[in-house]
């Protein structure tokens, strides 16, 4: 089953050397170039007590609108191993937010998080960042990055999505993993397996997963047909989709199913929706 919807590209092994003092008046820049702190630079290189202090300074700089100093501080923190700094930089490069858009640099920062993750010595406060990085590396690996060294690698994508879906319960990973099973990319087609992953994500109010699960159940494509339950998921997905044009495909699926549904289908869907919303409140 192919749904015309692009995978989200979010996305590290970009080597950055931390700034370090080599004399009272000279520092080493992040690219390793000696620079004079009094040579007329508009923004002298800052010296930080440690990477954690650099992270705090960088986030505060961005909060106050000082993006140049913030970028410098985040690069120092990222080179010192701060996952949140790496994630912030990855997002900035992926989105072109305050820096030139560069998917390869974004990928490198995300991959640094993945490569340095130690599940036996992990901090709970970093789990969301690490989980997101696994998904991002998976998405970049699945599609590759044109004109770069990052070639499509479905097996690595499968590994990344499986890890994030299983170990972190990440809804995006569960959805992306389901799509691989639906499309037969990197793995044999298996609609039933896809439906299981979609259900896990759908229960977390993931609109795209709800839409695809609803479509599978309503049509019975590779799974047992349950039109009322399928319409229920499609209805919930349509309610979450909102006016965003990128979600038009969700609205289209809902409208097509709703037009084909019988009165009985709609009554069953209404009962399922009431039960679902009650469970969400509880």
Q: In what order do the strands lie in the sheet with 20-21?
A: 20-21, 26-28, 34-36
C-alpha dihedral (142, 145, 148, 149), degrees to nearest 10: -10
Distance CA 204, CA 279 (A): 12
Domain assignment of residue 274, yes or no:
yes
Distances (CA, A) of 233 to 96, 185, 211: 34, 25, 6
Domain assignment of residue 265, yes or no:
yes
Domain assignment of residue 264, yes or no:
yes
pLDDT at 45: 55
pLDDT at 252: 97
Contact between 18 and 80 (Cβ < 8 Å): yes
pLDDT at 165: 98
Domain assignment of residue 165, yes or no:
no
The domain total for the chain is 1
Domain assignment of residue 239, yes or no:
yes
Distance CA 72, CA 93 (A): 14
pLDDT at 49: 86
Backbone angles phi, psi at 26, to 5 degrees: -125, 135
Domain assignment of residue 142, yes or no:
no
Domain assignment of residue 121, yes or no:
no
Q: What pTM, to 2 d.p., does this model score?
A: 0.81
pLDDT at 246: 94
Sign of the CA dihedral with 137 first, then 143, 146, and 147 last? positive
pLDDT at 282: 83
- What stretch of H or E contains 223? none
Give me the domain span that covers residue 241: 205-282
51: tokens are 């990477």
pLDDT at 2: 41
Please name every residue paired with 121 in a beta bridge, in sequence order, or none if there are none: none
Domain assignment of residue 107, yes or no:
no
6: tokens are 């692009």
Question: One digit per residue, pLDDT tens: the chain, 282 residues?
Answer: 444 344 444 433 333 333 332 222 233 344 333 333 333 344 445 678 899 999 999 999 988 998 889 999 999 999 999 999 999 999 999 999 999 999 999 999 999 999 999 988 888 889 999 999 999 999 999 999 999 999 999 999 999 999 999 999 999 999 999 999 999 999 999 999 999 999 999 999 999 999 999 999 999 999 999 999 999 999 999 999 988 899 999 999 999 999 999 999 999 999 999 999 999 888
């Amino acid at each position: 089953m192919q749904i015309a919807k692009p995978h989200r590209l979010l996305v590290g092994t970009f080597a950055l050397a931390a700034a370090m003092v080599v004399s009272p008046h000279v520092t080493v820049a992040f690219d390793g170039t000696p620079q004079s702190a009094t040579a007329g630079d508009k923004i002298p290189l800052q010296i930080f007590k440690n990477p954690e202090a650099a992270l705090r300074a960088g986030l505060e700089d961005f909060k106050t609108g000082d993006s140049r100093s913030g970028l410098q501080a985040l690069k120092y923190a990222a080179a010192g191993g701060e996952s949140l700094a790496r994630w912030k930089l990855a997002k900035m490069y992926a989105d072109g937010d305050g820096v030139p858009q560069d998917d390869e640099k974004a990928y490198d920062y995300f991959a640094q998080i993945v490569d340095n993750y130690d599940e036996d010595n992990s901090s709970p406060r970093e789990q969301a960042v690490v989980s997101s990085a696994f998904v991002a590396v998976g998405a970049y690996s699945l599609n590759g990055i044109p004109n770069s060294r990052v070639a499509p690698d479905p097996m690595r994508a499968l590994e990344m999505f499986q890890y994030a879906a299983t170990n972190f319960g990440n809804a995006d990973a569960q959805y992306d993993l389901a799509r691989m099973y639906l499309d037969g990319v990197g793995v044999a087609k298996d609609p039933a397996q896809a439906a299981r992953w979609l259900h896990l994500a759908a229960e977390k109010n993931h609109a795209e997963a709800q839409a695809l699960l609803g479509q599978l159940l309503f049509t019975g494509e590779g799974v047992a047909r349950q039109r009322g339950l399928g319409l229920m998921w499609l209805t919930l997905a349509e309610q979450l989709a909102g006016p965003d044009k990128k979600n038009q495909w969700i609205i289209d699926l809902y409208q097509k199913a709703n037009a084909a549904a019988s009165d009985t289908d709609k009554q069953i869907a209404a009962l399922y929706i009431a039960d679902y919303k009650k469970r969400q409140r509880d």
